[in-house]
Structure formats: C-alpha cells, structure tokens
Structure 1
Amino acid sequence: MFTGIIETLGKVTALEPKGGNLDITIASALTPELKIDQSVSHNGVCLTVVSLTDATYTVTAIAETLKKTNLDALQVGDSVNLERAMILGSRLDGHIVQGHVDQTGECTNVTEENGSWLFSFTYDATKGNPTIEKGSITIDGTSLTVVNSGKNTFDVAIIPYTYEHTRFNTYQKGTVVNLEFDVIGKYVAKLMSFR
C-alpha cells in the first residue's frame, strides 16, 4: 500500500529481458535504505526488490505488468517516480494507492498557468474505470486530484514542487502514463454494475 507521495526520482541503469519478464536496475538515493523482498512503487507499479548493490537495486516486471503499464517503454537513462510502501500508523498525505495500475493513459495537452500547470489526459473508458470531479487519481504513482472529469478525459493541476520533483516535467503531448483510479470509486462502480 502506498500514498502517492513521490519520495524521489530514480534512474534506470540497466534493462535485462528474461523470457517474458524484464529486470530493471535503478540507481536511487533510496537504495541504501532498501532490502530484498521490499515493495517499491515505480511509476505507480508495485515491484519487489530482488537484488541490491551499494548504488543500485533490481526489480522484476513480469509480462502481465509490462503489457498493462508503461514500463515496457523504459530506456536506460530514463527517470522513474519512486515511493516505498507506507508505514502503518503514519499520516496518509496522498490517498490510498495499491500500486496496481489499472491501465495507461496519454497526455493530450500541457498548459502553463502562471505558476502552475494543467495537464490533460485521455484514456480508454471502455475498461470501466471512472474519474470523479475532485476525486483522486494516481498518475505514474503520483496522488492527484481530478479536475474537468469527462467520460474518457480528465485534467490535473500541478504545483511547482510536484512539477520539479516528479516525472511531470518530462511529460508532453503523447506521453504514455500509468493510471490507477481511486480504489473506493472502483468498488462503488463495480457494486453499481450489479444493480
């Protein structure tokens, strides 16, 4: 379980295909604090640390994960949003994030708004994942509030701190992102579909 508050950016230092899986090696300031079997969110995808060195750690993304997320497009040198699992009993500064990406979306526009940015996204609405005006959405692991919610579109407003300390400063029209929709909204939508 995560909060969607990105701790730091990591840098991809190696990618090694293993059958249908992909070993991803990351250099990060968090590395000295990690241990084998620990869960870490990578662009919103919960992955398990499988090996460590002094400067890097490695996680494995299975074929199913690669198919449903943007991790299959990673290149050596790319940055990734990182967050360690939440500590039970601590403040929940973002929202409840499972680290289970529902689907990908695409950035359709970036508008600078005199000290903040408005990012627009589109996604495949046929997969049954709703956005709710002023509800929560996780984009590449970042907990955000939905504005301008549409059937298959939504916007998020980004403050300078988030812009500077996450991958948002690399997004442009056409950037593919991982989306995890609000867990409570998903359960409500599922229950309503049984009526």
Structure 2
Amino acid sequence: MFTGLIQAMGQANIGLGGVAIHSPHFLATVRPQPGDSVAVDGVCLTVARLEPWGFQADVSPETMARCTMGHPTAARTMVNLEPALRLQDRLGGHLVSGHVDGLGEIVAIKRQPRSWTVEINWQDPGFGRYVVSKGSVAVDGISLTVARCSAGGERFSAAVIPVTWGETTLKNRQVGDLVNLEADLLAKYSERLLGLKRPQTTSHQEQSISQAWLQEQGWR
C-alpha cells in the first residue's frame, strides 16, 4: 500500500521481463531491501536485486500490458518512486494500491499564476465513474485531487502545486504523453459492496429494530 507522495525520482531502463531503476538518492535515503515493494510511476514492483546505483525489479507481462512500461517510448525514462507505506506512517495523500487500472492521455497542460493544471483523458472511459470533483486519483503514482471532471469522469483535470510539479516527473510530461492511472481504492470497494445483493432471509430470520427488541437484547 502507498500514499501517492513521491519520495524520489529515478531513471528506468526497461528490458525484456525487467526494469533497472537508477536512483542513488532513493537508495541512500529509503534504503530498500530485496523483497521490498516500491511504486514505480504508480506500479507496485518488488525489489529483486540491489545495485550500487539503485535496484532491479522483475515485471510480468500483465503489468507491462497495463502500464506505460509496455509502451515503446518508455524504454528509457524518468519515473516517480515511493516505498511502501508502513503502519506508523502518516497518510498524507490517499490509499494507493500500486495496481494500475489503465492508461490516460494528457490532453492539456496550463500554467497558472501559482500552479499548473493538467487535463487527462482515460483511455478506457469505463473507469471514469470512479472520478469525482475533489476526489483523489493517482497519476503516475502521484496523489492528485480532481479539480473538475466531465459528467462521466472520463476526462478530468487536476491542479498541481509547485512542490509536486518540481519534485515529480510531471514537469517533464507533454501533451500526448501517456500516464498510469489508478482510481480511488475506496470508490472501487464501495461500488463492489453496494452492488452485492443481500441474501434472502426467511420471515423467521428477518427482524426489525424496535423498543421491545432492544430491551430483549439488554438495552435499557
């Protein structure tokens, strides 16, 4: 589990079945160990081997197919890095699983007086139902707040403050670039739970809460 608060950037060299992350800063400050989980542009990967310059991780075909790592332009690129959340850590962003839902395309980047606005289209519009104004979304692993969205949520914009812009790969992105998107985890679980049908109960099992029932249960 992650929070979407990026702690370092690194250079990813993507090969057949794996990725090498060059980031001496991440290595020195986070001190990852083999077996640790790291979000790489929002994709949860496991550290396979440590190197003097960073670490290497294996990537499954399923992961490559769902994220920007499988895109031809991603063979050598800068990525956002975040170690897994510890139970005692503060949740400064939002709950991010590191399981990318799909890709989005940056359709506009606008410079504002004290921020930037990034507008993104889901490639699969079906995930737009999880996007709401003032809700959360992970863009390349970055926890962002939705400023505005279309009626179906398939297109949304997020305001990016200078700190986030300067310390993540967003400053390198251009219109037309693809990004990894993960919808709000709580929204997906809520949809799942609300969609489940309640089991049928017999008249014997079905009870209503009344004053008499509460007294029978020991409430006075």
Do the two structures share a fold, i.e. TM-score over 0.5?
yes
Q: Match of 1:30, as an amino acid?
A: F
SS in 1 for 2:163: helix
Deviation string 1:109-154 (CA, Å, 9 cap, x unpaired) is: 0011112101001112225652011111000000011111221111
1:181 aligned to 2:183? yes
Structure 1 residues 127 and 137: alpha-carbon distance in aligned structure 2, compared to 1, 3 A threshold: closer
Residue 141 (structure 1) aligns with:
141
Q: Which residue, out of 27, 31, 34, partners 2:32?
A: 34
- Return the structure number with greater relative CO, CA threshold 8 A, min gap 6: 1
CA RMSD of aligned residues (A): 1.5
User: Could you list the runs of 5+ residues in structure 1 that have no partner in the other structure?
Assistant: none
Q: What's 2:19 paired with? A: 24
TM-score (norm 1): 0.92
Aligned to 1:170: 172
Structure 1 residues 74-104: Cα deviation after superposition (integer angstroms, max 9, x where no partner) = 222x110000001111211111111111111
Q: 1:47 maps to which residue?
A: 45
The structure with the largest strand share of the pair is: 1
Uncovered stretches (5+) of structure 2, i.e. residues with no partner: 198-220
| Cα distance in 1 for residues equivalent to 2:119 and 2:127 | 19
Instruction: Output the amino acid matched with 2:116.
Output: W
Tell me the equivalent position of 2:83.
Answer: 84
Letter in 2 for 1:80: V
From the CA coordinates, give the structure whose radius of gyration is larger: 2
- Give the Cα separation in 2 of the matches to 1:181 and 1:105: 11
SS at match of 1:134: coil
Paired residues in the alignment total 189
* Corresponding residue number in structure 2 for 1:61: 59
Once the two structures are overlaid, the 10-residue window that deviates more, 27-36 or 160-169, is 27-36
Q: Alpha-carbon deviation of 1:158? A: 0.4
**Percent of aligned pairs with the same residue?**
34
C-alpha displacement of 1:61: 1.2
Question: Displaced runs of 4+ in structure 1, greater than 3 A?
Answer: 191-195
**In the alignment, is the contact (CA less than 8 A) between 1:136 and 1:146 conserved in 2?**
yes
Shift of the 92–127 alpha-carbon distance from structure 1 to 2, 3 Å rule, reads: closer
State the alpha-carbon separation in 1 of the partners of residues 125 and 63 from structure 2: 20
SS of the aligned residue for 1:148 comes to strand
Structure 1 residues 26-35 or 93-102, which shifts more? 26-35
Alignment CA distance shift 1:149-1:191 (3 Å): farther
